[in-house]
Structure 1
Amino acid sequence: MALWGGRFEKGVDAFTQEFGASLEDDKAMAQEDIKGSRAHAKMLAKQGIISNDDAAAIDAGLEKISGQIADGTFAWDVNDEDVHMAVEKALTADIGTPGARLHTGRSRNDQVATDIRLYAKRLCEELLEGNVELRRTLLSVAEKNLGVVMPGYTHLQHAQPVLFSHHMLAYFWMFSRDYTRLVAARTAADANPLGSAALAGTTYPLDRDYTTQLLGFDHAISNSMDAVSDRDYLLDLDYACAVSMMHLSRLCEEIVLWSSTEFGFITLSDSYSTGSSIMPQKKNPDFAELTRGKTGRVYGDLMALLTTMKSLPLAYNKDLQECKEGPADAAKTLLDCMAIASGMLETMTVNAKTMLAQAGKGFTAATDVADYLAKKGMPFREAHEVVGKLVLYCEKHGKGLEDLTAEEFQASSPLFGDDIAQDLDPAGIANARVTYGGTGEAAVRVQLAEAKERLAADEGR
């Protein structure tokens, strides 16, 4: 019979027991459960609710179980409903009556809430480390390829030449914002529900500040009903993971495009590519595509939890058992995908000549030609029209702006001089943009320094 079975005359049907169990999902936070129980027992003894001898026996027994779980020798019983019951049952079987006193002043509701918060903090810390590693790789790629010029795009059409480093640093800043969201998720989880009991608190003289200190929480939660029913911090974690996966998906979409024959901007390492079962020539960007695809499952994890929570009255409801699997999946998926992205970036070959050749195509110098006229005194709107007509002329005659003679330029405006040629060089166009935040090498060097400073600060946390 279940540990809560005193109220019931009949045992639980095998199927309903299996349906209601969460042991497999719970195993991931077994160490958090033990940590919470050890703190609870220590507090009970401090308050004189159980004896010091009982507390010592409980602590030693839980430490033993912790070691068994860590080395894989703990005997999980498939009939146990959850990790909390599994650990308590094993403890009582090992040390006897003191083990049965562990649950004094505690409900599974605040026990579960404590475990999940500790587990969420651990997941956030792992993700923060993964995020820092990915950004470190992006910085390295940007530094190594500082002089590489590529076409910048809007609407997936050639727009203006940019430095490849500038493009990579755009992702650095995206993932820096993701770091901030993960910190916020960890902060949201950093509150102690232990001592709230089922929903109303308890008549035992618990010291919640003491367990807060022992468990490394920032503060105890003020309202017992909110403490056992709140899962907002998991939504924060899911959301942070979803946004970061969106950024990874954007990056991987570009990796897929850039590694194609049509672009040829990069060559992926064999370690991050696969072949075809029928076409011997193929080298497929499967891992970039998988990362892009896995974004959907993380979005699903967020939507699933939002939907689970939307109609729950206070306080605890069994629906909340469904809150654990999604965030754990989202965190693992993101962590794996960040590692994959970091590996792809670190090992890919950047084809600088191909990028530069493409940076000069598609009339990417058009804006600078219009600026040339504006600097000569022509209103920019008129200059825009003049250059638009030049582009149309080029298209009709199968030319690029770089192919036009001085006479052809001057036919469209007498303001054009022989010096227009210097405004048609892709590298010169990119590097001329030296305002703060621009793509010119001088501006990118400033940006690199700021990125290093930001990364160092985040690493220091």
Structure 2
Amino acid sequence: MKLWDKGFSTDKKIDRFTVGNDRELDLLLAKYDVIASSAHAKMLGKVGLISEEEVKVLVKELKRISKDIEKGNFTIEESFEDMHSKIEFMLTEKLGDTGKKIHTARSRNDQVLVAMQLYLKNELTEIQSGVKELFDLLVNLAAQHKSVLLPGYTHLQIAMPSSFGLWFSAYAESLIDDLQFIQAAFKIADQNPLGSAAGYGSSFQIDRSFTTTEMGFETLKYNVVAAQMGRGKVEKATAFGISSVAATLSKLAMDICLYMSQNFDFITFPNELTTGSSIMPHKKNPDVFELIRAKCNKIQAVPNQLTLITNNLPSGYHRDLQLVKEVIVPAIQEIKACLEMMTFSLKEIEINQAILEDPKYDYLFSVDTLNELVKSGMPFRDAYKSMGKAIENGTFKPKRNIVHTHEGSLGNLCLDGIREKMENVISK
């Protein structure tokens, strides 16, 4: 069944090519089409296009379909083009002519739009929860290990002392920035496009404000052409949000892979979180973090993919837009999985407590030792040259009892301030 069926069928090869993997992806979106269809049915009754009895039976049957979807009993057979045609078929099969009325005053175009935006709102909310869970873990780890020093690097050369407190809380605070992108995407998705029909509205006197409230959208996408133009744009906004999270996770995963190597030996994980080698019995490989790194790098390409699919399309609907679904939906599932695995694994991290006792890290303290000369009255440039000569001729003696007290330094992590900043973002 196709919603555009005119009594003749298309070539099977054309059908396979144009439908693509919509049926598979629509299993994730079907419940949102049901939510929108229920709101639409109530609106049709409110404006007198169908009777109250018809509203009642339509909503009841849609609830039954929703339960089937929740239980995993909803399928989209090859005889159906997508979730929309299958759901309308089920309504018609059960309710006869009443089921055929559900498509009054809407198009598959605004059906897709509203289902996708409801889906994105839900997924972005779940991603925010995943980000917050990882944030809480990182801040707690920062507090727990704040006094354990760690080498800081620039150009992958030993630079200055850092700490596990700084390292963990750096990623925690970075996640706050990522959440701002997620919330911006949510705000764009939180505009009701239903009622824009094929992109030019309807001659029926529908009530779009009613469906906006009924489905829990913050506002209406007023202009019907603008609503249709939002397809691809809202997905791209979501892609920028999840790619920002992915960038942070990828960098953290890279640090972990580096720090786990025997050459660094800063951290380790229990055997059950690592993998081995088929021929080298000593190996503890960070496969989970390598996959997080790779998957998150792949996710960072998604905004560009969507740009290339949708770029320079004129206003109005074009079949190109079907492809945005197969790009954004898997990317959303991937970022959720990466967040979950990062949080799950980091809970078991084991910290090397005595990294800087190794003499090879003595030069980490050159700046702090130099600063002591400045504090005693020596001009900075003279102190710098003096320290350089001491390092060059091998007489450098590091000052290891360092004291950093300014905001955000290793002796003053400002974890309460970082927590407050996150709470302010979440409260929006």
Which of the five TM-score ranges fits, normalised by the shorter chain? Answer: over 0.9
Which of 386, 396, 405 is the equivalent residue of 1:434?
Answer: 405
Paired residue secondary structure (2:160): strand
**Could you say which residue in structure 1 is the equivalent of 2:277?**
276
**Could you say which residue in structure 1 is the equivalent of 2:241?**
240
**Matched-pair contact (CA < 8 Å) for 2:277–2:283:** yes
**Unmatched runs of 5 consecutive residues or more in structure 1:** 403-422
**Matched-pair contact (CA < 8 Å) for 1:58–1:91:** yes
**Could you say which residue in structure 2 is the equivalent of 1:424?**
399
1:344 aligns with 2:342: no
Question: How far has the Cα of 1:456 moved from its partner?
Answer: 4.2
1:365-414 per-position Cα deviation (integer Å, ceiling 9, x unaligned): 211222222222222112111111111112xxxx7x33xxxxxxxxxxxx
Amino acid at match of 2:386: V
Question: How far has the Cα of 1:460 moved from its partner?
Answer: 5.3
Q: Distance in 2 between matches of 1:205 and 1:361?
A: 75
**Could you say which residue in structure 1 is the equivalent of 2:183?**
183
Paired residue secondary structure (2:408): coil
Q: Counterparts in 2 of 1:118-267, with a 5 A limit?
A: 118-230=118-230, 231-267=232-268
Amino acid at match of 1:451: I
How many pairs does the alignment contain?
Answer: 425
**Could you say which residue in structure 2 is the equivalent of 1:451?**
418
Question: How far has the Cα of 1:152 moved from its partner?
Answer: 1.4
**Matched-pair contact (CA < 8 Å) for 2:180–2:425:** no
Q: Distance in 2 between matches of 1:146 and 1:299?
A: 31
Question: How far has the Cα of 1:75 moved from its partner?
Answer: 4.3
**Could you say which residue in structure 2 is the equivalent of 1:315?**
316
TM-score (norm 2): 0.95
**Unmatched runs of 5 consecutive residues or more in structure 2:** none
**Could you say which residue in structure 1 is the equivalent of 2:73?**
73
Paired residue secondary structure (2:162): strand
Amino acid at match of 1:243: S
Paired residue secondary structure (1:363): helix
**Matched-pair contact (CA < 8 Å) for 1:150–1:358:** no
Q: Distance in 2 between matches of 1:285 and 1:96?
A: 58
**Matched-pair contact (CA < 8 Å) for 1:149–1:359:** no
Q: Counterparts in 2 of 1:408-423, with a 5 A limit?
A: none
Amino acid at match of 1:76: I
Q: Distance in 1 between matches of 2:25 and 2:38?
A: 22
Amino acid at match of 1:174: S
Q: Counterparts in 2 of 1:51-70, with a 5 A limit?
A: 51-70=51-70
Question: How far has the Cα of 1:74 moved from its partner?
Answer: 2.7
Q: Distance in 2 between matches of 1:126 and 1:162?
A: 33
Identity of aligned residues (%): 33
**Could you say which residue in structure 2 is the equivalent of 1:417?**
none
1:99 aligns with 2:119: no
Question: How far has the Cα of 1:360 moved from its partner?
Answer: 6.8
**Matched-pair contact (CA < 8 Å) for 1:298–1:329:** no
Question: How far has the Cα of 1:287 moved from its partner?
Answer: 0.5
Q: Distance in 1 between matches of 2:264 and 2:244?
A: 27
Q: Counterparts in 2 of 1:291-440, with a 5 A limit?
A: 291-353=292-354, 355-358=355-358, 361-394=361-394, 401-402=396-397, 424-425=399-400, 428-429=401-402, 432-440=403-411
- Structure 1 or 2, whichever has the larger Rg, is 1
Q: Counterparts in 2 of 1:32-51, with a 5 A limit?
A: 32-51=32-51
1:278-322 per-position Cα deviation (integer Å, ceiling 9, x unaligned): 111111000111111112321232221110110211111111111
Paired residue secondary structure (1:73): coil
Note the aligned Cα RMSD (angstroms): 1.6
**C-alpha spacing 1:327/1:3, structure 2 compared with 1 (3 Å):** closer
TM-score (norm 1): 0.89
Amino acid at match of 1:450: G
**Could you say which residue in structure 2 is the equivalent of 1:88?**
88
Q: Distance in 2 between matches of 1:2 and 1:163?
A: 61
**Matched-pair contact (CA < 8 Å) for 2:146–2:410:** no
**Could you say which residue in structure 2 is the equivalent of 1:17?**
15
Amino acid at match of 1:374: V
**C-alpha spacing 1:2/1:345, structure 2 compared with 1 (3 Å):** closer
Q: Distance in 2 between matches of 1:50 and 1:86?
A: 21
